[in-house]
Structure 1
Amino acid sequence: MPKINGNEIRPGNILEHNGGLWTAVKVDHVKPGKGGAFAQVEMRNLRNGSKLNERFRSADKVERVRLEQKDQQFLYETDGQLVFMDSETFEQIELPAEILGERRPFLQDGMTVQVEYYENEALSAALPQKVVCRVVETEPVVKGQTAANSFKPAVLDNGIKVMVPPFVGSDEEIVVNTETMEYAERA
């Protein structure tokens, strides 16, 4: 694995530090008036979610880890475990439902999800950026209401509440951005 200097750490990098795997969440480069420059790095543990703030001087060496990404198809959920199947080898793996966090309701049957592996251990799963959902409940369309930034609340078929433009009615399908959990466009 490649070693990088402490001043080369960027947000999103996966680092091996103190015997654990960490993702760099926030990186601030600090140059105090007295003493050497350093990078103040806020990190999150990929295995247990704990956070850590660490200082790395430019001379410090850190292991940068590359995760292998595989497309997996979601099959079903059982006892809080999500079952995925590898599209190429047809092997099945189980991951805890908490791995998706608040985006869990957007997971649909048969959806292809990108799972990141370190050696043979699955560490994270990422949903597609855009998902089609059906609006179950929203206020009726009001004619003539075309104000630029007016949005109204809507409940989706997965129970999530999002803000939608006034022209979207009940039983319509919309595209939702899973990263921001916001309305993107009509389906």
Structure 2
Amino acid sequence: MKVNANSLRPNHVIEHEGKRYSVLKYDLILPGKGNAFIAIDMRDVSTGIKTNVRFRTQETVEKLMTEEKTCTVLFIEDDLVTLMDTETYEQFTVNLDMAGEAKPFINDGMEVSVDTVEGTVVSFSPPASVILTVAEADAVVKGQTASSSYKPAILENGIRVMVPPHVETGTKIVVSTSDCSYVERAKE
């Protein structure tokens, strides 16, 4: 289906120069002089190579229809993830890089959302939030009560996140996978 380039968003799949690409990032650039244009970072679905392309705002591109399904991560080996479709129990393997920025959040047994185009996996993503354990948390600095004080912590998957002072090492917390931020303490 033909759409204007300014209607593209992350996770859309387009066909450009005979290849299929998954849109990773979208920026509208308004130069001081001249016409506005769209800068798009995208990944080739078949090879995984990232490229960036500029489109004029009124230029049309071929957007492909994607089908979304829920799968379970069976196991991760090197950079390959084996997934199982929860409806058909079909198993398939995809590259971990298809998860993009959410790669550190992918774990065994997790339910993920998989996008396919004509049976080919183009991307997969974890839930909006995940529960992780704090592996290391800095000590609380006294006297910072005038404003909200957060301290750095390292999670079990190696991600650094800012947490409230009451969070200690070993605490389970809910983390947003979109921006790697603290949401709340996990309910037990």
TM-score, normalized by the shorter chain, greater than 0.5: yes
Distance 1:24 1:77 in 2: 23
Could you report, residue by residue, the CA deviation over 1:84-108 in whole angstroms, capped at 9, with x for unpaired residues? 1000100001111222245333222
Q: Aligned ranges for residues 6-45 of structure 1 at < 5 Å?
A: 6=5, 9-12=7-10, 13-22=12-21, 23=23, 25-28=25-28, 39-45=37-43
- Change in 2 beyond 3 A, CA 1:15/1:98: closer
Distance 1:168 1:33 in 2: 50
- When structure 1 is superposed on structure 2, of 175-184 and 146-155 the one drifting more is 146-155
Query: Paired residue for 2:182?
Result: 183
**Number of residue pairs aligned between Structure 1 and Structure 2:** 182
Q: Which runs of 5+ in 2 are unaligned?
A: none
Q: Aligned ranges for residues 105-120 of structure 1 at < 5 Å?
A: 105-120=104-119
Query: Residue 69 of structure 1 aligns to which amino acid in structure 2?
Result: E
Distance 1:33 1:46 in 2: 32
Query: Paired residue for 2:76?
Result: 77
Identity of aligned residues (%): 34
Q: Which runs of 5+ in 1 are unaligned?
A: none
Query: Residue 43 of structure 2 aligns to which amino acid in structure 1?
Result: N
Give the TM-score, by structure 1 length.
Answer: 0.81
Say which SS state the counterpart of residue 73 (structure 2) adopts: strand
Query: Residue 73 of structure 2 aligns to which amino acid in structure 1?
Result: F
Say which SS state the counterpart of residue 136 (structure 2) adopts: strand
- Change in 2 beyond 3 A, CA 1:170/1:67: same
- Change in 2 beyond 3 A, CA 1:46/1:185: farther
- Change in 2 beyond 3 A, CA 1:138/1:25: closer
Give the TM-score, by structure 2 length.
Answer: 0.81
Distance 1:52 1:162 in 2: 29
Distance 1:142 1:28 in 2: 41
Distance 1:29 1:162 in 2: 30
Query: Paired residue for 1:98?
Result: 97
Residue 3 of structure 1: how far off its partner (Å): 1.8
Query: Residue 11 of structure 1 aligns to which amino acid in structure 2?
Result: R
Could you report, residue by residue, the CA deviation over 1:16-47 in whole angstroms, capped at 9, with x for unpaired residues? 1111123273253769988xx67434241342
- Change in 2 beyond 3 A, CA 1:105/1:50: closer
Query: Residue 9 of structure 2 aligns to which amino acid in structure 1?
Result: P
Which of 1 and 2 has greater Rg?
A: 1
Could you report, residue by residue, the CA deviation over 1:37-88 in whole angstroms, capped at 9, with x for unpaired residues? 6743424134224223233473x54222121111100111224311110001
